[in-house]
Amino acid sequence: MSLSFDPPPPYGVHATTPQARTQPNPSATNYVQTTTTSTRYQAVRGPGEYTPLIPTPTQERPGRYTLLLKCIAGILVAVFIAQNAGLVRCPLNDISAEDKAEFRRQWSEEKARLRREWNREWAAHRTEVADARRAWAAEQEAHRIEAAAWTRERAEHVDEVAGWQRDRDEHGRELEDWARQRAEEEAHRTEVKRRSQGVYWTEPLGDAHCHAYGTRTYYSWLRDLPHDLNWLEVCYNMPPVSVHGRTYTAPDKCERNGRGETIGTWYVSGGEPTCVPRWGDFSDKGCVPGKPGHRRFVAPIEAIPGGSDTQMMCSTTPTTIRGVTYDSPTACEWWGRTMMGIWDVPDTTRWCA
């Protein structure tokens, strides 16, 4: 059996086998066999065990134009780098290499300055953020303390309201107790009055001595008082008495003497001309020592009824000094055998300032 091969096609021409041109292979319809041949072919050897069934294309070598373009691109890159480095002056640019270097130096300084400013601003911003965080933390702490204080105050207010309610309830109970006591007292007074209908006061009798300025003491005895009644309660709840045409209700004082008699005492002011003493001549003693702004006046008391309490009469007798009425002296003192009234009155003159 002998093998025969067709001659190779010209350089750059793809060829197919005659069988592929005349009749397609039904088992390999999806495969297209193409070969690219170079200008030189080795001698076709006969098929052997190392001969591939499907020929492989050989690698195409780069052409002259490709090498030329690469060389031109390299030259342009070198010129561009040299121009940027200031080694070669560009014909289209009239800036010298020294100016470019100066521009680069200025730009470097500007970038350094901007970097420093940015660093300062960043540091200031970080400081501001830290201060803001500390302030916020302080505000949060203050708010927490204030909230705790509000909680305590609210609790105290609740306790206070509860205390007010307790006091209100207690006061209500006290009012009820007072109302009950008043009802009981009223019922008791009514019973006392019913049982003391026969009890009466004797005619009031005036004391021979004066009690105070314009005041005399009057006494009256309680008669026909039942022994099983409280004499003090009956004394203060008796009907009023009349002295000098004036009505006096409850006595100023209720007492019981050694004989078991109940006596009511009234201090009657008015209608007692014999109990009205007078002051003698006033003497100006000048400014009061140790009491700036005051001047001292003194006067003896006269026309005191015999047997009356001189000290009481002096301390209750009024007078008028420099147009101002004083109900009583500042003090009453014995100067020898004379009772003297002493008044320390305000004095706004420069002498006693």
Banded model confidence at residue 338, pLDDT cuts 50, 70, 90: very high
**Across 38-64, average pLDDT:** 55
CA–centroid distance for 296 within its chain: 56
Instruction: Please give, one letter per residue, the 3-state secondary structure of 94-133.
Output: CCCHHHHHHHHHHHHHHHHHHHHHHHHHHHHHHHHHHHHH
Query: CA–CA distance from 274 to each of 186, 303, 312, 317 (Å)?
Result: 42, 9, 15, 13
Give the span between the Cα atoms of 304 and 300, in whole angstroms: 11
Q: How many CB atoms lie within 10 A of CB 281?
A: 8
- Burial-class residue 324 by CB neighbours within 10 Å (0-12, 13-18, 19+): exposed
Could you tell me the pLDDT band of residue 196, with boundaries at 50, 70 and 90? low
- What lies within 8 Å, CB to CB, of 148 at 6+ separation is none
Beta bridge partners of 215: 212, 269
From residue 79, give the alpha-carbon distance in Å to each of 86, 101, 279, 340.
Answer: 10, 17, 137, 135
Measuring CA to CA, which residue among 27, 44, 26 is closest to residue 35? 44
> What pLDDT does 135 receive?
94
**Rounded Cα–Cα distance for residues 152 and 308 (Å):** 67
Q: Can you give 209-230 as a three-state secondary structure string?
A: EEEECCEEEEEEEEECCCCCCC
**Regarding predicted confidence, which is higher, 259 or 190?**
259
Residue 9: what pLDDT?
53
Cβ atoms of 219 and 205 closer than 8 Å: yes
- Lowest model confidence (mean pLDDT) among 67-71, 99-103, 109-113, 188-192: 188-192
Tell me how far apart the alpha carbons of residues 168 and 85 are, in angstroms, rounded to a whole number. 100
Res. 149 pLDDT band, cuts 50 70 90: very high
Tell me, rounded to whole angstroms, the distance of Cα 274 from its chain centroid: 70
Q: What is the CA radius of gyration of the chain?
A: 69
Please give the pLDDT value at position 85. 67
Using an 8 Å Cβ cutoff, are 240 and 222 in contact?
Answer: no
pLDDT digits (tens, 9 = 90+) for 151-168: 999 999 999 999 999 999
* pLDDT, tens digit, 9 for 90 and up, residues 251-303: 999 999 988 899 999 999 888 888 999 999 999 999 998 888 999 999 999 98
- Residue 237 DSSP SS3: coil
Give the SS3 label for residue 8.
coil
CB of 199 closer than 8 Å to CB of 238: yes
